[in-house]
Amino acid sequence: MLVMASCQIGVGIQSLYGTSPFADEKIQGPQNIPGKVWMAWFDRGGRNVAYHSYDDVNHGSCELNPCTGVDAVYKNVFRKDEGASTSYTKPPNGGWPGDRFAGNNSQVPIDQMYWGWNALGNWVRFSLLVQEPGDYTVSLFGTSNSGGTLLLTVDDYASHGTEAVGVRTGGRAAIPPTDGYHRWSLFQDIAVLPALRRGPALLTVNVTGIDNYKEGSQFGNLLWLDFVRRG
């Protein structure tokens, strides 16, 4: 388990990053913790503000997942004009076994949206609302083809008149391989985030390492992070 260190930063988060919570006809942000942070619901703001990707193309919506005619359903067109890639878990199809748990090879619940095609250096940001202050453990549900490293940082702030004083918490978490992009596992207690304060915060998830890296390698598919308050 990784315990993350904290340091003071002297700038307001909103003015520094300029993102806004994701919202549409089904989803209203920001996401609350304690609870799950759904990775496909990264912030609005565009490339290099709310996310960074190597080619600014959503390789799930309208590419892997057809989105014309009868296929133009919510999950197939989801965030199709944004450059961080999204898709969803699927059942077996023909000779393809579908999305399955790495441990017992059982079927993962279908139609769950995830962030995928995440190459080395890709990142996404999430507006959060910390409902309960304190220390948090973080677990991940996702896939990691060959294993790798994620950097999680949380910026929070407390307003004092027109001034915002932020605290940044961050560190790296090593994720073992699941031996496939569609073999899912729960990685428990990958990190501890100390002393989060009540109120708005911004989470950044950055792919900083891919084991056995080769050109074109991707980390895996990330569905959610679960923030659990300690004590």
CA pseudo-torsion sign 19, 138, 110, 30: negative
pLDDT class of 100 with cuts at 50, 70, 90: very high
pTM: 0.90
Q: Strand 31-33 and strand 123-130: pairing?
A: parallel
Whether 2 has a pLDDT exceeding 80, the answer reads no
Write the DSSP symbol of residue 109. P
Portion of the chain with pLDDT greater than 70, in percent:
87
Say whether 90 sits in a helix, a strand or coil. coil
96 CB contacts (<8 Å, ≥6 apart)?
none
pLDDT of residue 167: 66
What kind and span of H or E run contains 172?
strand 163-175
pLDDT class of 166 with cuts at 50, 70, 90: low
pLDDT of residue 172: 79
Looking at residues 77-84, what average pLDDT do you find? 96
pLDDT digits (tens, 9 = 90+) for 190-214: 988 888 888 899 999 999 999 988 8
User: Class for domain 2-16+35-229, per CATH?
Assistant: mainly beta
Portion of the chain with pLDDT greater than 90, in percent:
71
Using CA atoms, how far apart are residues 174 and 5, in angstroms rounded to an integer? 16
Whether 219 has a pLDDT exceeding 70, the answer reads yes
pLDDT class of 227 with cuts at 50, 70, 90: very high
R_g (Cα) of the chain, nearest Å? 18
Using CA atoms, how far apart are residues 193 and 197, in angstroms rounded to an integer? 11
Question: In degrees rounded to 5, what are phi and psi of residue 39?
Answer: -70, -25
